[in-house]
């Protein structure tokens, strides 16, 4: 791949959310979505294969939730950049994810600017 875009893996069991995030991420000049996972197990498999620069992580998913997945990804790669994407009312989970090593948080329903801001803060170095 010749471009220098940062590679993003989206992890969310809701297709609607994945599509919205994908639109926003692919719309910036410096990021692109390289994979999408619907649960934690899939996220881990894809992470190993794709080695993305950043992962957006839903917290409540079937099979394996975002907290466990965050933990496992950081065991695989201590430099993994994980951004929690979560709805209001999940503050306790968000805090736990942060303790486990998530770098940032985007609240659903999110605005484009919110997502862009976080991407910029974490990826434009």
3-state secondary structure 50-104: HCCCEEEEECCCCCCCHHHHHHHHHHHCCCCCEEEEEECCCHHHHHHHHHHCCCE
Write down the pLDDT at residue 124: 87
CATH number of 6-123: 3.40.50.2300
Write down the pLDDT at residue 89: 87
Contact assessment for residue 76 and residue 89, using Cβ atoms and an 8 Å cutoff: no
Contact assessment for residue 122 and residue 83, using Cβ atoms and an 8 Å cutoff: yes
Q: Which run of H or E residues covers position 7?
A: strand 6-11
Contacts of 34 (CB under 8 A, 6+ apart): 7, 8, 9, 50, 52
The reported pTM is 0.95
> Average pLDDT by consecutive 10-residue portion of the chain (125 residues)?
84 97 97 98 98 97 96 98 92 94 95 96 89
Q: Where are the domains of the chain?
A: 6-123
Q: How far is CA 116 from CA 7, 34, 119, in A?
A: 14, 17, 5
Contact assessment for residue 105 and residue 75, using Cβ atoms and an 8 Å cutoff: no
């Amino acid at each position: 791949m010749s471009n220098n875009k940062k590679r993003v893996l989206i992890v969310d069991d809701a297709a609607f959310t994945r599509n919205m995030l994908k639109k926003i991420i692919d719309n910036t000049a410096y990021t692109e979505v390289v994979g999408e996972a619907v649960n934690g197990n899939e996220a881990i498999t894809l992470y190993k294969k794709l080695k993305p620069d950043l992962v957006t992580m839903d917290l409540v998913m079937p099979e394996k939730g975002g907290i466990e997945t965050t933990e496992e990804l950081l065991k695989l790669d201590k430099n993994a950049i994980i951004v929690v994407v979560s709805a209001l009312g999940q503050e306790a989970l968000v805090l736990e994810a942060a303790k486990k090593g998530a770098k940032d948080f985007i609240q659903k329903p999110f605005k484009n600017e919110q997502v862009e801001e976080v991407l910029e803060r974490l990826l434009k170095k």
